[in-house]
Amino acid sequence: MAAAFWVLIPARLASTRLPNKPLADIAGAPMVVRVAQRVAHSGAQEVVVACDSPLIAQACAAHGVRAVLTREDHASGTDRLAEAAESLGLPEDAILVNVQGDEPLIDPKLPAACAALLQRTPQIPMATCAHAITEAAEIFNPNVVKVVLDAQGRALYFSRAPIPWQRDAYTAGSGGWAMPGQPPHPVYRHIGLYAYRHRFLRDYAKLAPAPLEQAEALEQLRVLWHGHSIAVHVTEQAPGPGVDTLADLERVRAMWLER
The pLDDT tens digits for 136-157 are: 888 989 989 999 999 999 999 9
| Domain 5-129+189-208+219-252 class in CATH | alpha beta
Q: What is the chain's mean pLDDT, rounded?
A: 90
Q: Is the pLDDT of residue 173 over 70?
A: no
pLDDT of residue 126: 96
pLDDT of residue 217: 92
Computed on alpha carbons and rounded to an integer, the radius of gyration of the chain in Å comes to: 18
For the chain, give the longest Cα–Cα distance: 56
What is the separation of C-alpha 2 from the centre of its chain, rounded to a whole number of angstroms? 21
What whole-number distance in Å separates Cα of residue 31 and Cα of residue 52? 15
Residue 108, exposed/middle/buried by CB under 10 A (0-12, 13-18, 19+)?
A: middle
Q: Is the pLDDT of residue 1 over 60?
A: no
Q: Is the pLDDT of residue 75 over 80?
A: no
**Residue 258 pLDDT level (bands cut at 50, 70, 90):** confident
Q: At what angle do helices 54-62 and 31-39 cross, to 10 degrees?
A: 50
pLDDT of residue 5: 95
pLDDT of residue 2: 66
**Residue 224 pLDDT level (bands cut at 50, 70, 90):** very high
pLDDT of residue 198: 93
pLDDT of residue 134: 86
Q: Is the pLDDT of residue 229 over 70?
A: yes
pLDDT of residue 23: 95
The pLDDT tens digits for 4-29 are: 899 999 999 887 778 899 999 999 99
